Structure 1
Amino acid sequence: MHPRTTSRVSLTAMLGTPVTDAQGNVRGKLKDIAVATGPEAGRVAGLVLKSRQGLQIVSSDQVMETPAGTLEIRSPSALRPLNGDENYLFLQQDLIDRQIIDIHGRKVVRVNDVDLEWLGHGSVHLLRVFEVEVGLRGAVQRVFKGLLPRQTLESISRRFAAKGIPWQFVDVIEVDPARRVKLRIEHERLGEMHPSEIAEILADLAPAEREAIFTTLDEEVAAEALEEVDPKLQKSLIESLDEERIADIVEEMDPGAAADLLAELSDEKSEAILEEMEPEERHEVEELLEFHEDSAAGRMTTDYVAVDFEADVSSAVQALRDFEGDPESVTEIYLIGANDVLRGSVPLSRMLVAQPATHLNVLAEPRVLSCPADMHQSQVAEIFDKYNLRSLAVVDSQNRMVGVVHSDHVISFLLEKL
């Protein structure tokens, strides 16, 4: 049995390396490295050579590293023309100097170099991507390559700490529309992030990369991320989408957030999006658009859980199960009497420790807190501060419940004032 060996090499060091056949004849110089995408992401599929015949590619398992530091092809017949329609990611062309998402670090970084690893087992030598270099070491190697002797350059670059991201934590941003689908599987990992993290990443990207990432998100994730970014960025993100796609995303948003977004658009654009929405979601948003944005109603959401004043705990649990909004936003169950008049509220914590047959009005807060729909948002913030609230019911002039303001809505308003 031959022992397994490994050796590390950077893309910068490899580029331009002569490639010979077994007889020592130079067949070309290394131009780039092709990497598979999708399920085999990270596997080096082939080495691209610049030769007299043009660009050629050879499978990585047909190439080995020689003691002299050159590359050797096992069989010249393994070389084939590079047509340009292959389903590859090219490290030099598509990755170097590009922005990528560090999935593990939840941030956007720029690639300065790529570290590869030779895996040797007997006469078989395989090459794989190990990590991407995003620190000064990679930048120094690239800037001074060819200007300094290799040993001198390696000595200088080692003075800078390596800063790499393992390939499995890299999400490539592809801005070419014709190739986005090829990298969709990598972008699906964004869906595992918190919406606020996705929003921060989108804010750090250039417009083209931002658009490329946003268009790969499914409607639910896109909606959650859209709620976390500022209004200017919201408009920028949806400008390139058609009304049908925007409507699909807006339908997944909190109604209050959706209304705020549409209010920032032109009347023509807003109407076109509303026309594409489902009737129920459209009606909710249209009602909210009628309120002034600085009022309690302008800050509220119509997604809340309410049951009859005479209902019991088991009925409230079923209402929670049937709730189609964000379950994490629910902190209280609201009790509604005749004509939708607000009669009380029950904190979830109190309800969950009660028996299923317990009537909710027994568990209700002794004082019903609410605010009128036209109350200014600054006054709403004062109520939240005074009573240390997590949410506050909003009522109309007949004390009928029309929505809920949550603490995060108030925080957003306060941050806007800073």
Structure 2
Amino acid sequence: MTKHLSQQKTSVATLMGTPITDAGGAVHGRVREVVVSPAVDPSHVYGLILRGAKNDRGDRDVMVLITELMLTAQGAMQLRESVRPGLLPDDESYLLLERDLLDQQIIDVHGHKVVRVNDVDLVWESPQQPGGDLRLRVAEVEIGLRGALRRLLKGLPGAMVARITTRLTPSIIPWDFVDLIGRDPARRVKLKIEQDRLSQMHPSDIADILEDLAPAERHAVFLSLDEEVAAEALEEVKPKMQQALIEALDSEKVADIVEEMDPAAAADLLSELPEERSEAILEEMDPEERQEVEDLLEFSGNSAAGRMTTDYIALPQNAILSDAVEALRHFEGDNETISDVYLLDDEQRISSVIPLVQLLLATPAAPLADLPGAHLVTCDIDANGRKVAELFDKYNLRSLPVLDHDKRLVGVVHAEQVIGLLRAEH
């Protein structure tokens, strides 16, 4: 007789050691593991590993599929008639919830932090039709005291444990929001559920997560990011962490990431590496990106030139609005850093600075030189970091053009570079 289910809950900790009987009522084995097969269904339990039972080969640990179980009127798990013990799963793609999740670190992408799993909540689902198969859904992971206490009380009667633990406020993460930092011996990410969620987070949040992880897990997560996201995250972490993240990567892989970084940030990163390692990475970069970074490497990191980027938008002083729109469409740097368009004369000197907001108010054929310009504040290429910070503070700047000794525009310092400079000094 199958018990009517109304979203009846259990958990991995609760199931451990629970007996499963055969049709005659004899104990067939006790639950040792809960198995999920991500390739089949990442949201439902695939089977249970039992200890104490034997299969045809004499193994004492066997697996029973969830579809081979039923719940009695008393809520106990019982094998369906004629079910024989199966072989243990040896496919590495299986996820064992007790082994692979409990006490492991996971990324709470919803809360943008790293937490530890204390238990995994499961929900029995009624068959969709009479005589149909039971399903056991993976609902959420417990990261608070309730899950930890449930495991501490393991072995006591289930009803007693439930009465004690239900008094505690749950601290959970829905399964859909979980990113598991499991890794195989080759230190690759073993499984990532809802994999795209991490890439959609702000680079600063990803950087915080990386800094909270142990080295091996940190490396696994960093490798799982695409090159653009990895580059943005790398810009947000401290120099020592940057070196740790790229230490085990080959020069070609690092070059692919560095090419996606802001040139100034890339130059800062390479300047902290041993010369031989830095040269090897530069050799793997595309010529254009390599030249930009090599030019910046010549300058002191504390100077304006050492903090500037060559990613900016500059147009001839006779340009019109449609030219600016086209330049913005084809800009390969970080669009979020662009606050102004620089108009240059024939000598590459700044004739006007046009805030982006002015472009929104102009007609397509409007000459940019006729639009209201911002107050022009610049600094010399040799200006030190303190001077640059003072200019940003005094004039409330979002960006600061850097001029060479002939007053030609050679780069721009953005506010985020100044923030990075101030962090480095403290």
**What TM-score results when the alignment is normalised by the length of structure 1?**
0.94
Q: Which amino acid aligns with 2:316?
A: D
- Say which is worse superposed, 20-29 or 88-97, in terms of deviation: 20-29
- For residues 200-215 of structure 1, what are the structure 2 equivalents within 5 Å? 200-215=208-223
In the TM superposition, what is the alpha-carbon distance from 1:33 to its structure 2 partner? 0.7
Q: Equivalent residue of 1:265, what SS?
A: coil
Q: How large is the Cα RMSD of the aligned pairs?
A: 2.0
**Matching residue of 2:150:** 141
In structure 2, distance between residues paired with 1:136 and 1:27: 33
1:216 aligns with 2:224: yes
Shift of 1:343: 2.2
Q: Aligned partners of 1:373, 1:196: CA distance in 2, in Å?
A: 29
1:159-191 superposed Cα distances (whole Å, 9 cap, x missing partner): 321111111111111121558465256333211
Q: Deviations over 1:100-124 (max 9, x none)?
A: 1112222111100111011123444
Which secondary structure does the structure 1 equivalent of 2:407 belong to? coil
The corresponding residue for 1:126 is 135
The range that moved more, 57-66 or 386-395, is: 57-66
Moved more, 64-73 or 356-365: 64-73
Structure holding more helix per residue: 1
**1:192 is the counterpart of 2:208:** no
Which amino acid in 1 is paired with 2:209?
I
Inter-CA distance 251–177: structure 2 relative to 1 (3 Å threshold): farther
Residue 27 of structure 1 pairs with residue 28 of structure 2? yes
1:107 aligns with 2:116: no
* Corresponding letter in the other structure for 2:150: Q
Deviations 1:253-276 (A, max 9, x none): 111111111111111111111111
Which residue is equivalent to 2:7? 6
2:304–2:384 contact (8 Å) kept in structure 1: yes
Q: Who is 1:91 aligned against?
A: 97
SS at match of 1:101: strand
Secondary structure of 2:191 counterpart: helix
In structure 1, the gaps of 5 or more residues are: none
**Number of the residue aligned with 2:304:** 296
Specify which of 284, 295, 310 is matched with residue 276 of structure 1: 284
Percentage identity across aligned positions? 52
Query: CA distance change for structure 1 residues 372 and 37 in 2, over 3 Å: closer, same or farther?
Result: same
1:175 — aligned with what?
Answer: 183
> Which amino acid in 1 is paired with 2:346?
A
Match of 1:327 among 310, 322, 335: 335
| Matched residue SS, 1:252 | coil
In the comparison of the two structures, how many residue pairs are matched?
416
1:299 partner amino acid: R
The residue aligned with 2:406 is 398
Q: Which has the higher strand share?
A: 1
User: 2: CA distance between counterparts of 1:105 and 1:76?
Assistant: 47
Residues 345 and 91 (structure 1), Cα distance of their counterparts in 2 relative to 1, 3 Å cut: same
* Cα distance, 1:322–1:96 mapped onto 2, change above 3 Å: same
- The answer to whether structure 1 residue 381 and structure 2 residue 389 are counterparts is yes
| One-letter identity of the residue aligned with 1:138 | G
Aligned counterparts of 1:39 and 1:405: Cα–Cα separation in 2: 51
